[in-house]
Amino acid sequence: MPRARLRLVASEGEPLAPPSTPPVDDGRLLAAIRAGDQGAASELHDRLRPRVDRTIRALLGGGHPEHDDLAQQTFVEIVLSLERWRGECSLETWGATIAARTVWKFLRKRGLERRVFRDAGLGLAEPKAPSSARMLVARDVASRVRAHLDAMAPDKAQAFLLHDVCGFDAREVAGIAGISEAAAHARIARGRRELHERLAEDPDLRGVLLDLEDGG
């Protein structure tokens, strides 16, 4: 059961996050952070947070009770590993990679080898987007897809999520999972094949997926 967690937030005098700021050269931003500029660190956080959040949600599902803690760990790791970014990918991709690795380690540490996902409730901050029937159907479909992934071997399920949902290539998947690129290719292929077989054997879910496709 999740226990009470601490929340550190901005003091009363701090302004809202700016709605839009001019893009800052990535190298200069990281250099400022290395020099100890807390403002630059906050700016990096605001910039990478959406991608980090999406990555965690893609891997664990929405509303996971450890989401915020994992995001926080990700940003701490980002600060501690600034030197490793060589500019070969965007900062957003780099942040997403670290987030994925953080989630990967979390799952392994918690011994959730046979359970990739867990139920999650909604928090108070959940945006109250208009709930159309189509959105409700999509949410149900997502849950059912995740149930199939949950029944698969975690390495194959995670490989599929990292590659097909998060958009990492095989080399990146290998780096996140700590395996060779060849092994990553194999896991991705096996994960996709097994999920396809499961979906094909679930005519009801298959039909709903196809209906969503036809619906535009």
The interface with another protein within residues 72-131 (CB under 8 A) comprises 72-73, 75-81, 105-106, 109, 121-129
C-beta closer to another protein: residue 42 or 93: 42
Closest distance of CB 182 from another protein, Å: 21
- Contact between 133 and another protein by CB under 8 A: the answer reads no
> Could you say which residues in the range 33-62 bind another protein, by CB under 8 A?
33-34, 36, 38, 41-42, 44-46, 49-50, 53-55, 57-58, 61-62
Closest distance of CB 34 from another protein, Å: 7
- Total residues interacting with another protein, rule: CB under 8 A: 83
Backbone angles phi, psi at 18, to 5 degrees: -65, 140
Cα 149 to Cα 152: distance, rounded to the nearest angstrom:
5
Q: How many CB atoms lie within 10 A of CB 157?
A: 22
Closest distance of CB 12 from another protein, Å: 5
C-beta closer to another protein: residue 57 or 153: 57
Closest distance of CB 183 from another protein, Å: 20
Closest distance of CB 171 from another protein, Å: 19
DSSP string, 164-216: IIS---HHHHHHHHTS-HHHHHHHHHHHHHHHHHHHHT-HHHHHHHHHHHHT-
Q: Of 6-14, 87-95, 168-176, 179-187, which segment contacts another protein by CB under 8 A?
A: 6-14
- Contact between 70 and another protein by CB under 8 A: the answer reads yes
Given 31, 147, 182, 210, the residue binding another protein (CB under 8 A): 210
Cβ–Cβ under 8 Å, residues 72 and 99: no
Q: How many CB atoms lie within 10 A of CB 215?
A: 9
- Contact between 151 and another protein by CB under 8 A: the answer reads no
**Residue 33: helix, strand or coil by DSSP?**
helix
**Residue 23: helix, strand or coil by DSSP?**
coil
Of 89, 94, 57, 60, residue with least CA distance to 77: 94
Q: List, in order, residues 6 or more apart from 66 with CB less than 8 Å away.
A: 2, 60, 106
Copy the structure tokens of residue 14: 């701090």
